[in-house]
Structure 1
């Protein structure tokens, strides 16, 4: 595309950006989230799915989601199969409830359709508008903590480790070369950001990757391309014979998956937009409703090609921090995902220790939203606190929102201020409560 055409399509000047900035933002976002190319197939192959086919499906589904976001909403958010959602697919739907991976794909597709129906009604914008402004800022701060935690946890350095998926242990070996690389990358990138260098995070990722070569952290690939692979093992392999386990498990699975997907995406959009001043004066994100439409369609198409639920990635905040403001950023991310189908080894070359500093720095920036929470009013302070801490503690954006919403509703009711709570907040909070009760019941039996 010519620069003039890009200007007409994405309204770059109107959004105070340019082609160069958007491209750098796209590369930065892609590097921050490229781990999903390999983590997702590793997770889904546990269900019996073909690793290579899922890897291709992951790239295709991510690219489609990014393109949809770009052209429907014109915002710099990227999509890919969500972490946590792929775990739900593997350990809850397949291993826990007993569905085959083919049936699980069908459940993902159905949940996407329901999500799409919701987003095509006025309910889509009202959900976002119903969230009190302090809670929106708490969501942004919670995502900041969460994204920093994910960066350190997925860095492969052992700096932050989890034992049996249950609790965080003490700091790892500080003499470990990966830990040393994270420290170097954090200081280097932090200095670049402090000096307000254009493209600081992108430069930091590349420089840290290069420094990792002599440290033995960055691996030089033996080949630059993949060959002999096919999408056929997962493409259109959905099995809609879903009543064999009963109607209640099916309803539970579909409703739970829809809610988690929707509020993961709502939380990411609202939180990131709030932290990056993309929201309006009331804390609403005007383009957020269109982004949810793109998210829902991406979930449906992702299931068709053979992937778990596609969701808006909070790593998009790294590109937004670099100045990405339009769908052109998302287009660049989508193109890089398609390139990764052939050039996967190059994407794998970027170690987690090189992207962890970027995520930590973005976490610092997003945590700044905490200043906009009214901490003197305990009616809002406690729900905001629970929203912030439960995201990293529960390893889930939607759980952070759930705890925040439920506590906000209950405190207002007990204080005799029930009328101050929007009707949608009641409905959403009750749905969260039902989901948690069902989940608890399943664990007991």
Structure 2
């Protein structure tokens, strides 16, 4: 049945490979399950009931979106509430609390109206093939550069922001910036105080996990990524217990495995505050919808194009089959997310880890979606995966995606300059969409002022202007 439904043989894959790929992607993106409700509730400031509601909404909307991706598009891409977009939503909620007098929960429910409108707009644009046309409007040279740019972004996350340690005074330290960067070993010990041993363990775990993955992959071992992550996790747990005297599983003793559906029903489930939406004013509401749409659209498009390119799922023109169906997945996920209580659902760049593990069909997305559903009951178990083990996988995948640079024509300045800007723009801005926007603007300007304006399509001009407006007029 699985063979017929997902066309496994035609995609040169097996049930075992797809399941391993789905679990690999899940392990690299499981952090969002707890982090998303933390961000959207200002780390509990909105109350425990709201936190529980957003937590359940995160699991449910992610699972639904991945089921749509699996059965409609048959692609291995996984979805969840997007980072960056959830932070932006949290900032706006804080502003609404300060300017309208509404409470945090009421402001949160007002923002759910914005997410609902965005999801409906995306659904309509996807059904009308407008989003596919936007993909086609991205010049081939830039499309080829998206994969390595995402690779650099993954490297930046893996080495930079993914592994951070907080000491007893709540100071935060990052592996690459602090441990291997500005601080010397002796100074680091003084500055990081009680956090230094944990940082050392994290750094060792990250590199051991990476080398295990590389060695296994070079020997052709199936599931090298997930085996490497598991090996890194075990190393971390053992060393944490033996050398640091901690119990890595202590959180499981007090954790609740009973879903708080009652809290979701009272705070987030179909709790649209349209009165609060009216208090924002129509200009603010429209501005927010446009902003969410632009960021999410190009984040999703960039992830799909970049990851599909790495997996060999695109043709010579850089087009991916079933793009429309894949784009529908995040539209449905976003609508479900607004109805259950979370921010915009988008395709995760961590999907690349599953693709590198051999995932080629929707069975990968289905496996990851089931894992997210199970987290409704087993979230505390997913939470004990150390960030350093996740970083090992992200770094490995990032390196592999960098190989896509060989497809870029660096002899053509109209391609070289935009792609180079995109390569540095994505990791610095932390946004795939912003990186693509900078590349599109650069490409258009270069073509116009070198007398090749006719080579730029009308839609490319429109996209470039929209990004200019967003960047410089704060739309």
Q: Which deviations, in whole Å up to 9, do the C-alpha atoms of 1:368-394 show, x marking residues without a partner?
A: 111111111111111011111101000
Distance 1:212 1:113 in 2: 44
Contact 1:270–1:285, Cα closer than 8 Å, also in 2 = yes
Q: Deviations over 1:300-349 (max 9, x none)?
A: 11110001110001101101101111111111001000111111111011
Give TM-score, length-normalised by structure 2: 0.87
Q: CA deviation at 1:149?
A: 1.6
Question: Where do 1:180-329 residues align within 5 Å?
Answer: 180-216=204-240, 219-220=248-249, 221-223=251-253, 226-227=257-258, 229-230=260-261, 231-232=264-265, 233-241=267-275, 242-329=277-364
TM-score using structure 1 length = 0.92
Q: Report the count of equivalent residues.
A: 431
Residue 370 of structure 2 corresponds to residue 362 of structure 1: no
Counterpart residue number, 1:82: 82
CA–CA distance in structure 2, aligned partners of residues 58 and 415 of structure 1: 48
| Residue from 399, 411, 417 that aligns with 1:376 | 411
Give 2:388's aligned residue: 353
CA shift for structure 1 position 179: 1.1
- Does the CA contact (< 8 Å) of 2:232 and 2:389 recur in 1? yes
Q: Distance in 2 between matches of 1:225 and 1:335?
A: 20
Corresponding position of 2:73: 73
Q: Distance in 2 between matches of 1:116 and 1:285?
A: 19
Partner SS, residue 113 of structure 2 = helix
Q: Which has the higher helix share?
A: 2
Q: Is the 8 A contact 1:109 1:300 kept in 2?
A: yes
1:381-437 Cα offsets, whole Å, 9 max, x none, are 110111111010001111001100011011111111111111111111111111122
CA spacing shift, 1:34–1:415, aligned 2, 3 Å: same
- State the partner residue of 1:149: 156
Instruction: Please identify the structure whose Cα radius of gyration is greater.
Output: 2
Unaligned runs of 5+ in 2: 101-106, 166-173, 189-195, 242-246
Residue 58 (structure 1) aligned with residue 33 (structure 2): no
CA RMSD of aligned residues (A): 2.0
Could you say which residue in structure 2 is the equivalent of 1:443?
none
Detail structure 1 runs of 4+ shifted over 4 Å in the superposition.
96-99, 168-175
Shift of 1:148: 2.0
- Aligned pairs for 1:330-349 (under 5 A) are 330-349=365-384
**Tell me, which stretches of 5 or more residues in structure 1 are unaligned?**
163-167, 441-445
What is the rounded CA distance, in whole Å, between the counterparts of 1:209 and 1:98 in structure 2? 45
Q: Distance in 2 between matches of 1:245 and 1:369?
A: 44
Asked whether the equivalents of residues 112 and 338 of structure 2 are also in contact (C-alpha less than 8 Å), the reply is yes
Q: Is the CA contact 1:387–1:400 (under 8 Å) kept in the aligned structure 2?
A: yes
CA-to-aligned-CA distance 1:161-211 (integer Å, 9 cap, x gap): 59xxxxx96697696111111121112112112222111001001111111
Q: Structure 1 residue 129 and structure 2 residue 152: aligned?
A: no
